[in-house]
Amino acid sequence: MPTLDLKRKLAILSDAAKYDASCASSAGVKRDSRGGKGVGSTDGGMGICHAYAPDGRCISLLKILLTNFCVYDCAYCVNRVSSNVTRARFSVKEVCDLTLGFYKRNYIEGLFLSSGIIRSADYTMEEMVRVARELREVHDFRGYIHLKLIPEASPALVNQAALYADRVSINIELPRDESLTRLAPDKDIGGIKKAMGAVRLGVEAGQEKGRKARPAKFAPAGQSTQMIVGTDAASDGEILKRSESLYGAYHLKRVYYSAFSPIPDSAARLPLARPPLVREHRLYQADWLMRFYGFARVEIVGEAEDLDLDIDPKLAWALRNRGDFPVDLNTAEREPMLRVPGLGVRSVDRMLGVRRIKALRLEDVRRISRRIDKLKPFIVTADWTPGPLTDSADLRARLTPAASQMSLF
């Protein structure tokens, strides 16, 4: 096998990592090197992905695989052992040098590292831990590190990874257990859940209050996971039900949804075409409603149902529950206001602040939300009431964006 130079390895292993969506760097512990010690901080090209923190900051991460060699044969994975793709592998030193070099050039603010399985789960996890340990202990790197955990690895190695990383993630892969068994025979759903549970216990122990001697920081930014959408026949309701269960059982920071992408030499068991990207977008919107807007999954979509692709799930809910509207923005509690289509968390909080000083008028709402046409059928202000508009038969048609030809310029 010919020897690959570092640039070629980076091209191969950054491209191979693009299918993993669970790399946002939100909620990391604050560290910096302004005192003259260490390299990097968590404040504030090829192989670089962009994630967004809760405050809206765009954060750049070096997103790579340690290797795309893999002994597993997951049907949906381009890096499976039976796949005919160009293979490459980084050494521990190469990953560290890339991370530090990119950081010092101000290209990145952290590292997202995953890997195919080589030799065994323990061997691969140990190599990934070596990267994180060398960055932290040898180079005093204080930037963000996200490690993808291998659930089949020993608990001791998983524990070490979580002590060096800000966030860890274990991909649940598919919404149905039987689909994982059929398409990824080397993976065990029980082992995945057990590893998630161990991470949850470690995170909670590190956050426990009232202890005189607190344990070392254990994945302070928590854990996340990813599900592939469209690989099997699971409905959106099934997918969101699995997400709801994961949030409750393992206190995940985030569930990511990745639309299935057809891969070269794919098995006949897989679909020939990817699902529409808007389906992935609607799942994220519904997930947001569950996490930040107080919606239960059953309010958004039934277990056997799919989300409406033409309108967002919050508007779809409002159209099904018109009896809850209009909402008086000058007297309503925060929770009913959050259910108004077009109002986000920040907009509602700003309105609550404004109305302590004066009565909200339509112009005040326009300045805060900038989506007044979508709001008007569902709100009451000091100078506006929707009258029969809320119950009009053509309200959905009025609020559904018109289809248009995309412009080339």
The pTM score is: 0.86
Phi/psi at 349 (5° precision) = -65, -35
Count of C-beta atoms within a 10 Å radius of residue 101: 12
What is the rounded distance in angstroms from the CA atom of residue 372 to the CA atom of residue 387?
Answer: 16
pLDDT digit of tens for each residue in the chain (409 aa)? 567 889 999 998 988 888 787 655 444 445 555 555 555 544 434 556 766 655 566 778 899 999 999 999 998 888 999 888 899 999 999 999 999 999 999 889 899 999 999 999 999 999 999 999 999 999 999 889 999 999 999 999 999 999 999 999 999 999 999 999 999 999 999 999 999 999 999 988 877 765 655 556 888 989 999 999 999 999 999 999 999 999 999 999 999 999 988 876 667 778 878 899 999 999 999 999 999 999 999 999 999 999 999 999 999 999 999 999 999 999 999 999 999 999 999 999 999 999 999 999 999 999 999 889 999 999 999 999 999 999 999 999 999 877 665 454 4
| CB contact set of 342 (below 8 Å; sequence gap of 6+) | 315, 369, 371, 374, 375, 378
One DSSP character per residue, 276-338 reads PHHHHHHHHHHHHHHHHS---HHHH--TT----SSS-HHHHHHHHTGGG--EETTT--HHHHH
Answer yes or no: are the C-beta atoms of 99 and 31 closer than 8 Å.
no
Q: What does the pLDDT look like over 52-63, one tens digit per residue?
A: 655 566 778 899
Give how far the C-alpha of residue 169 lies from the chain's centroid of Cα atoms, to the nearest Å.
Answer: 10
What is the Rg, in whole angstroms, of the alpha carbon atoms belonging to the chain? Answer: 24
What is the rounded distance in angstroms from the CA atom of residue 24 to the CA atom of residue 146?
Answer: 9
What is the rounded distance in angstroms from the CA atom of residue 337 to the CA atom of residue 348?
Answer: 7
pLDDT at 4: 81
What is the rounded distance in angstroms from the CA atom of residue 349 to the CA atom of residue 34?
Answer: 34
Which tokens hold the place of 167? 């966030």
Question: Start-end ranges of CATH 3.20.20.70 in the chain?
Answer: 6-275
Answer yes or no: are the C-beta atoms of 255 and 245 closer than 8 Å.
no
| CB contact set of 393 (below 8 Å; sequence gap of 6+) | none
What is the rounded distance in angstroms from the CA atom of residue 92 to the CA atom of residue 119?
Answer: 16
| CB contact set of 313 (below 8 Å; sequence gap of 6+) | 282, 285, 286, 289, 300, 301, 307
pLDDT at 78: 87
CATH superfamily of 6-275: Aldolase class I (3.20.20.70)
Which tokens hold the place of 62? 């070096």
pLDDT at 274: 85
What is the rounded distance in angstroms from the CA atom of residue 45 to the CA atom of residue 51?
Answer: 14
Coil vs helix vs strand at 228: strand
Of 354, 366, 360, 369, residue with least CA distance to 329 = 360
One DSSP character per residue, 1-33 reads -PPPPHHHHHHHHHHHGGG------TTPPP---
Q: How many CA atoms lie within 13 A of 118 on its CB side?
A: 17
Q: Which amino acid is at 37?
A: K
What is the rounded distance in angstroms from the CA atom of residue 75 to the CA atom of residue 82?
Answer: 9
Count of C-beta atoms within a 10 Å radius of residue 190: 9
Answer yes or no: are the C-beta atoms of 345 and 54 closer than 8 Å.
no
Q: Tokens 């007297």 appear where?
A: 331
What's the N-to-C CA distance of the chain in angstroms?
A: 45
Answer yes or no: are the C-beta atoms of 259 and 279 closer than 8 Å.
yes
What is the rounded distance in angstroms from the CA atom of residue 371 to the CA atom of residue 305?
Answer: 29
